[in-house]
Amino acid sequence: MGFGVLTLKSGIIGARGVGKSTVFHALTGLAPIAGQGDAKNRARPGNIKVADPRLDFLEATYGSAKKVPVELTVLDFAPNPKEQKEGAALDPSLLPLIRDLDALMIVIPEFAGHEVPLVAAIESVEGELIFADFDQTERRLERLKKEKGNIDFERGGLEKCLKWLEEGKPLRTLELTAQELAAFSSFGFLSRKPVIAVINCDADRATAEMAAADRAALTARGLDAFRLAATFESELWELDAAGQSELLHDAGLTQPARDRLITALYEYLGLITFYTAGEPEAHAWSLRRGASALEAAGRIHSDIARGFIRAEVVSYADFFELRSDAKVKEAGKLRLEGRDYVMEDGDIIHIRFKV
């Protein structure tokens, strides 16, 4: 499933006291704020720079002055007890903020005192998203009744959505035509958003096998699942690099959850990474899987896309083996590609353009 997401801004949501802020701290190293009032005053953004050994290699090989990794933004929201009562699945005052996000992480607790089964817990949070979409669709249909002109197409599509929502199903799993997608893109449907269920569990239960079982249970809803021991991962921030490796190793893990989560998010959202590298900087960029060289150019700068002439491309594997631009050229591994070339994960590109 491709979501066409690039900016990687996601929000952490869920019931009260399930460990959302602990997950936020585990991922970003930041403490949550105790904001008050409006939802936007209660949002705390944190950035995660994506750890990327390929980028490190490019930086070292080119002696780049600067390294720019892919960044991910995660938001935590301070609760407002007036908005979200104890036991409520989600803070309804957050809904307008959630509309702007690229992806959601729903935290599901799996520690003492929280016994709701995974699918039921997800259904209760997603139910709020589905209800909000239902409400919006119904109001839009109501307004259409007063409109003249050619509205049959929009009405047909909305009625299809309404029926789907009525059955308690998220719009994420409804097949829409390209034309319908374009017509509804401005709606910011909440139940169409990519969602990762983040299961907050004990360290010995944060295994890939268990996550695979969770994923299987949620696949009909189009969700991904990820296991994370938030308290444990949070403690990593108190240690230096050696201490972190030791603690991870003792728990039978090889990398912190934030690195695993980014890999999972990339996979789920259908993203790849490409690079631009030289002496001034080594830069990693996220890109939609299947995107063209022209779209890659547009990621870097709209002027570069506009004046696109051709792309010089070398795969990361070839560069890693040959270790310099000159050797890459000599070995015939530098390819000249046109605007329609489909980018591969790890491509290192240099775009020729004129302005």
Ligand X SMILES: Nc1nc2c(ncn2[C@@H]2O[C@H](COP(=O)(O)OP(=O)(O)OP(=O)(O)O)[C@@H](O)[C@H]2O)c(=O)[nH]1
Q: Which chain residues interact with ligand X by CB under 6 A?
A: 16-22, 79, 111-112, 200, 229-231
Decide: 280 and 65 in contact? Cβ < 8 Å.
yes
CA 336 to chain CA mean position, Å: 31
- What is the closest distance, in whole angstroms, from the C-beta atom of residue 252 to ligand X in the complex? 17
Strands 308-314 and 348-353: antiparallel
Q: Show the beta-strand stretches assigned E in 102-182.
A: 103-109
Q: Does 21 bind Mg ion (CB under 5 A)?
A: yes
Q: Does 22 bind Mg ion (CB under 5 A)?
A: no
Of Mg ion, ligand X, none, which one does residue 230 interact with (CB within 5 to 8 Å by kind)? ligand X
Of Mg ion, ligand X, none, which one does residue 160 interact with (CB within 5 to 8 Å by kind)? none
- What is the closest distance, in whole angstroms, from the C-beta atom of residue 215 to ligand X in the complex? 20
- What is the closest distance, in whole angstroms, from the C-beta atom of residue 226 to ligand X in the complex? 14
Of ligand X, Mg ion, none, which one does residue 19 interact with (CB within 5 to 8 Å by kind)? ligand X
Residue nearest to Mg ion (CB): 21
Beta bridge partners of 227: 199
Based on CB atoms, which residue is closest to Mg ion, 21 or 292? 21
Decide: 198 and 228 in contact? Cβ < 8 Å.
yes
Based on CB atoms, which residue is closest to ligand X, 16 or 333? 16
Calculate the alpha carbon distances from 310 to 280, 340, 351 in Å: 21, 10, 6
- What is the closest distance, in whole angstroms, from the C-beta atom of residue 264 to Mg ion in the complex? 22
Based on CB atoms, which residue is closest to Mg ion, 113 or 332? 113
Of ligand X, Mg ion, none, which one does residue 18 interact with (CB within 5 to 8 Å by kind)? ligand X
Nearest residue to 194 via CA among 133, 103, 125, 128? 103
Transcribe 138-153 into DSSP letters.
HHHHHHHTT--SS-HH
- What is the closest distance, in whole angstroms, from the C-beta atom of residue 300 to ligand X in the complex? 37
Amino acid found at 77: F
- What is the closest distance, in whole angstroms, from the C-beta atom of residue 79 to Mg ion in the complex? 6
- What is the closest distance, in whole angstroms, from the C-beta atom of residue 137 to ligand X in the complex? 29
Nearest residue to 162 via CA among 195, 135, 186, 125? 135
Based on CB atoms, which residue is closest to ligand X, 20 or 288? 20
Decide: 71 and 49 in contact? Cβ < 8 Å.
yes
Based on CB atoms, which residue is closest to ligand X, 27 or 223? 27
Of Mg ion, ligand X, none, which one does residue 16 interact with (CB within 5 to 8 Å by kind)? ligand X
Could you give the 3-state DSSP secondary structure of residue 87? coil
Amino acid found at 268: Y
Rounded Cα distance between 300 and 276, Å, is 9
Q: Total binding residues for Mg ion by CB under 5 A? A: 2
Q: Which residues bind Mg ion (CB under 5 A)?
A: 20-21
